[in-house]
Amino acid sequence: MEARFCAERPVVVVGGGNSAGQAVVYLVQHARSVRLVIRHGDLGRDMSRYLVDQIERDSRVEVFRESQVCELAGADGRLESVVVENLRTGLRRSLDARLLFVFVGARPCTDWLGGHVALDEDGYVRTGPAVGAPAGGDRPPDLLETSAPGVFAVGDVRSGSIKRVASAVGEGAMAIRLVHQHLARMGREPGG
């Protein structure tokens, strides 16, 4: 996001998680106004408290709870308004907007695993203590190890992970060490 595109323009942000909250806190410093659209009623459900507090304190931010974007309007390829519908009442409201930022989260792409490793209720891969004992294993899994002994998961696909590049890189480095330890327990050399 470049602040120069937002300068003194009305902005709409869609999403109820930390990424959306961080965007609002950043954009409100540059935009004329920021409207945040969330599908549920509780801003703090999926967003860190410090972000909720900043958003709720800023008079330039308006939060549309239990709402969704149902229409975009404009002319000559330029956004002019965003129509928001309240999911509870069905009431629609047109919001002046020149920019729209969508942070609606992600769904893990784990279907291909075909039940070979344990997943949480949202489809993320369980690792470490969240697994219990691996299938057919005689020990608890290592920190990043899945329910399949010797199979490790890192990054955004891992249940409970911090969805940040730096965290994924750090987990990847840690997994290398854990794989080496696993191979040593099996009496095998890494790379051999």
CATH number at residue 131: 3.50.50.60
Cβ-contact 159, 152 below 8 angstroms: no
The answer to whether residue 192 sits within a structural domain is: no
Question: Is the pTM for the entire model greater than 0.85?
Answer: no
Q: Are 129 and 68 in a shared domain?
A: no
Q: d(Cα 126, Cα 161) in Å, to the nearest integer?
A: 10
Q: Are 1 and 74 in a shared domain?
A: yes
Tens digit of pLDDT at every position of the chain (192 positions): 566 788 889 999 999 998 899 999 999 999 999 999 999 999 998 899 999 999 999 999 999 999 999 999 999 889 999 999 999 999 999 999 999 999 887 788 898 998 899 999 989 999 999 997 755 567 889 999 999 988 999 998 999 988 788 888 999 999 999 999 988 988 877 666
Q: Are 145 and 174 in a shared domain?
A: yes
CA angle in degrees (0–180, nearest 5) for 159-161-165:
135
The answer to whether residue 123 sits within a structural domain is: yes
How confident is the model at residue 136, as a pLDDT?
Answer: 59
Q: Which domain holds residue 170?
A: 111-187
CA angle in degrees (0–180, nearest 5) for 45-69-67:
40
Q: Are 148 and 92 in a shared domain?
A: no
Q: Are 22 and 56 in a shared domain?
A: yes
The answer to whether residue 176 sits within a structural domain is: yes
How confident is the model at residue 88, as a pLDDT?
Answer: 96
Q: Are 15 and 98 in a shared domain?
A: yes
Query: What domain count does the chain have?
Result: 2
Q: d(Cα 101, Cα 68) in Å, to the nearest integer?
A: 13
